[in-house]
Structure 1
């Protein structure tokens, strides 16, 4: 099916992938683009709907090293002033051998990519405190080793999504939310040909091309092909409130990331909050069911338990304890403070942590753009350009690493631990929103 600038294109999902794609398609001159989501832009179910996200270039995989360096240059453009902060990043391990190897490979890849001047191997208190004096009181700092990268930092994630969505709308993209924007499935004819997308209002939305960029919701929307290919998981975050004096003291710190403990950012002067995430392998919610009509085989899979649906859930006690352990080790002066605005953040993992950007195996006019694997937001300024290439059939966007099926499981060492608990098993059932 040929694609022209006035071809109708329906993007499902207004998160990182969907918003970036809408922007880049409009920038290329496409004039008939609709983006749907159950929430107004930016979608509050998106992992990118957040105070801040890490912008990094350290990867053990050369492909993402190159993409991250491209994205970093894009973040430096004037449109991201006041949203992107190049504070640098300290990434360390307390000694896990796999983490040490990961950091070694990341260092080598940056050197190969010509970014050696920006990165430095560091070890022990003296070398770490040189780049972040605020860590002088951290417990066990002598045991830390890792990387300092000055070409890294963070972005105000929600503001970045808002900016890109608003610019997309200015260029003519139409956004639909509510029941008309909530996909429930595909409309197929008797020959299994794709006729449109079903939405909660009962309507069928039709287009010449479709792009599914629904993140963690993807396996539940296309369970026949994705329930065994992607794994939806969530991670936990919380914040501590700081005084004006403390905000001034911690202003401009690099992103502090310890692979066994978690990570944090400089405090936000608007909200006076400092975000902290604990390091663990994630939670799942195995409430999805799919039965193959031909074989009768039933698949049970994880689907998101979004904070927008269950605002009273907060985070499990064990996750809060993990965040408190990070505080006690990294910034013990803040120990004992209440954790505020604690919530979960859903992503969907592929077996090998590569994105899934490929045509649907049966519907040529449906492009899959999902499988963020927890490292997509940093690509916000550029990923839509690659997805647009994939829509146009260009090899630049249809990389073999991003193809559908045939993936082999590879452990992601940036997520310590192996047990993926069901979040319903560890939530406090007394909370109103638990609905267990």
Structure 2
């Protein structure tokens, strides 16, 4: 019989599948004070107790003795699964080419990093339309963040979802319906609803239920989501890395001893078949310094580099870039400093219109409150830019012999003209004080898109004996799940199709799924930076 959590329909349209104990715990935590104290170093492991992720059979292991796991990538996905596997008794070593032991994940002064996890802040939301399984996972994650340290790692400042017109869009209506089914409609405030506006006043949210108009002066509808906010992503990664190290996870950082060079394979004949077809079995990995690191299983959690390290992932995943720009407020600018503080200003998201045939999209822009350093970040994902280059010979999946890979770090310090245009339009409407202010910084942030926006967390079937596992495909929305993702991934790692994780049907290896989410476009698509001319020389 399938585990209890997998007995529900795969779409999770019936949120009664969330047991009453979990719902009660989540509801209580959602309404806790936004103030909290610093937790001790192993609180992250204990936080699973307030999440339904704790129901994924911790301690039930199929291994006879502790097995060794090598994880490539020390970002959100790699850290989360590393800690969860270590708590289940595995010997875990994590490799990353970045010197996080010295930088502690702090964003560099130039704002450039090849890792999406290295960032001041990432949006936290539970608004997923009809994808109620992700809504559920986000609510579990929010409760876990609050148990860790609501004041430092998660800022529940709210998020204002501004609509394209004066009416609620279809996705917004679906989101409100989904939250209502989970008993959380009262956490949402629709600006055009008089009762919601009155509740916002009563509950102290009215100052963030802001009013905006489009360029023609027409009022835009908006919904203030009091469940949402942002995660201090770099701080969170540093916190989890320290927690993992204290639990016994080993780390190898740097461009030599931490940098992946290759998988080390052992070829053997299949014993489960009468044929002598060779099967690849990985016995460890080699780093750039030439050292062989034996492991029973290698986990690829390398973000936008995952396909380059393991070409077998290329059908499922594609590297793409979001566009980020910042303004910097000096403390002496007291009015702006106060206005854009998290306790006064929400996250704002806006999608003005569907993407046009030529790839242009003036919406799909967001802004976050200022950081303690005074940075106001604006992000654009309306066009998820690709960079198609020749794929290596023998790559199992390419498009016209090419695949998308991240640009070199030095070439990521400007954003393409369509992104700058979209951000400037957004700024003129929503952040008018910065209308004529030059950007403090710009950068392309490279993500890993999956073919359907769901993560890819499973064994790679072309490798024998479960010797290679993938944990990637965050698709621009993975950071918020850091406290709970690892428990789900670790249960899938141990139990495969018998996993109790309710995310198992969505994260599995999906070779027959159509390539959507833009992955069908290929090098001739409108998002390919390699065909946009010398856009990096444009502008000042």
Q: Specify the alignment match of 1:264 in structure 2.
A: 367
Q: Take 1:52 and 1:296, find their aligned partners in 2: how far apart are those partners?
A: 34
Name the SS of the counterpart of 2:83 in structure 1: helix
Q: Say yes or no: does 1:145 pair with 2:221.
A: yes
Q: Distance in 2 between matches of 1:45 and 1:20?
A: 19
Matches within 5 A, 1:369-388: 369-388=471-490
1:54 aligns to 2:144 (yes or no): no
Match of 1:38 in 2: 97
Q: For the residues of structure 1 that align with 2:399 and 2:370, how far apart are their CA atoms?
A: 50
2 CA distance for matches of 1:174 and 1:152?
Answer: 34
Structure 2 match to 1:434:
none
Q: Deviations over 1:255-295 (max 9, x none)?
A: 111123311111113x1111111342211111250433899
Structure with higher Rg: it is 2
| Secondary structure in 1 matching 2:401 | strand
Task: Give yes or no for the alignment of 1:420 onto 2:503.
Answer: no
- Alignment deviations for residues 75-99 of structure 1 (CA, whole Å, 9 cap, x no partner): 11143531211111111221499x9
* Structure 2 CA distance for aligned equivalents of residues 333 and 79 of structure 1: 33
Q: Give the 3 Å change call, closer, same or farther, for CA 87–226 of structure 1 in structure 2.
A: same
Structure 1 pair 62–297 and aligned structure 2 pair: CA distance change class (3 A): closer
TM (norm. structure 1) is 0.87
Q: Report the 3-state secondary structure (helix = DSSP H, G, I; strand = E; otherwise coil) of the residue aligned with 2:458.
A: strand
Q: Does 1:299 align with 2:358?
A: no
Instruction: State the partner residue of 2:14.
Output: none
8 Å Cα contact 1:290-1:298 kept in structure 2: no
Structure 1 distance, partners of 2:434, 2:470, is 44
| Partner of residue 322, structure 2 | 235
Of stretches 114-123 and 288-297 in structure 1, the one that deviates more from structure 2 is 288-297
Q: Which of 500, 519, 525 matches 1:396? A: 500
Q: 2:435 aligns with which of 325, 335, 352?
A: 335
After TM superposition, give the deviation of residue 104 of structure 1 in Å.
1.7
Residue 228 of structure 1 and its aligned partner are, at CA, apart by 2.0
The Cα of 1:121 is off from its aligned counterpart by 3.2
CA contact (8 A) 1:87 1:255 kept: yes
* Structure 1 range deviating more: 9-18 or 311-320: 311-320
- RMSD between superposed Cα atoms in Å: 3.0
Answer whether contact 1:352 1:410 (CA < 8 A) is retained: yes
Q: Secondary structure at the match of 1:197?
A: strand
* 1:36-185 → structure 2 map (5 Å cutoff): 36-41=95-100, 44-60=113-129, 61-95=131-165, 100-123=169-192, 130-132=206-208, 142-178=218-254, 179-185=256-262
Q: Distance in 1 between matches of 2:401 and 2:166?
A: 35
- Write the distance in 2 (CA, Å) between the matches of 1:297 and 1:329: 39
User: CA offsets per residue over residues 217-255 of structure 1, 9 Å max, x none?
Assistant: 1111111x2122211100011111124311112222111
Q: Which runs of 5+ in 1 are unaligned?
A: 413-417, 432-436
Quick one: distance in 2 between partners of 1:221 and 1:54?
28
Offset of residue 10 of structure 1: 0.8
| In structure 1, distance between residues paired with 2:370 and 2:394 | 49
Unaligned runs of 5+ in 2: 1-60, 106-112, 269-279, 353-362, 519-524
Q: CA deviation at 1:131?
A: 4.7
**Aligned residues of 1:214 and 1:370 also touching (Cα < 8 A):** yes
| Contact in 2 for aligned 1:90/1:147 (Cα 8 Å) | yes
User: Separation in 1 of the partners of 2:128 and 2:397?
Assistant: 41
- Please give the alpha-carbon distance, in whole angstroms, between the structure 2 residues aligned to 1:315 and 1:30: 44
Using the TM superposition, name which of 29-38 and 137-146 deviates more: 137-146
